[in-house]
Amino acid sequence: MEDATLINGLRDRYARALGELRSLDTKRKALKSDLAHLRAVLRLCADDMDPSAIRAIRPVRKDRAHYFADALNVLRLEGVPMTTRAIAKRLLAARDIAITDESLRPVEGAVLACLRRQAKASVVSVQPSPNRWSIAP
């Protein structure tokens, strides 16, 4: 017996994955072309430079932009200083994502980076040993 909802859902997911894969393939080809052009210009401008010696810079993940606002909301709701891990667990729970080391590590890193950056701007404060974050008075 066929479940039409299941089949349609799987078909839709398959189509989206296929579209994403094709999009990535197009982007990969464009980036390879860009690298070839940049390598040629580098050789024109500095013929003694070896482009293969240049280390890659990891791109910034744009989906992390919302973590600071979400972390502030967690700190406001809890009303007590919290560790980065506790904040990250609350964020994952709010999104109904299973809390595993694999899912927690990137979120915890993103939250920590956001909070450290904002601590310099006096938006949040940190209490040492272990670091517990709170909204600055």
Domain co-membership, 36 together with 91: no
Domain co-membership, 72 together with 131: yes
Domain co-membership, 41 together with 83: no
Average pLDDT, the chain: 86
With b for 16 or more beta-carbon neighbours within 10 A and e for fewer, the 25-55 pattern comes to eeeeeeeeeeeeeeeeeeeeeeeeeeeeeee
Domain co-membership, 77 together with 127: yes
Domain co-membership, 45 together with 103: no
Q: What is the pLDDT of residue 124?
A: 81
Q: What is the pLDDT of residue 95?
A: 87
Q: What is the pLDDT of residue 108?
A: 92
**Residue ranges making up the domain that contains 101:** 62-135
Domain co-membership, 129 together with 66: yes
Q: Per the structure, how many domains does the chain have?
A: 2
Domain co-membership, 77 together with 33: no
What CATH number corresponds to the domain at position 94?
A: 1.10.10
Domain co-membership, 68 together with 47: no
Residue with tokens 């990250």: 88
pTM given for the model = 0.55
What CA–CA distances, in Å, run from 98 to 71, 93, 109? 18, 7, 17
Q: What is the pLDDT of residue 64?
A: 62
Domain co-membership, 83 together with 103: yes
Domain co-membership, 33 together with 74: no
Q: What is the pLDDT of residue 20?
A: 87
Domain co-membership, 46 together with 91: no
Q: What is the pLDDT of residue 49?
A: 87
pLDDT digits (tens), the chain, 137 positions: 478 888 888 898 889 888 888 988 898 999 999 999 999 999 899 889 888 889 888 776 666 668 888 998 999 999 889 999 999 999 999 988 899 988 899 899 989 988 888 887 777 878 877 888 888 87
Domain co-membership, 75 together with 103: yes
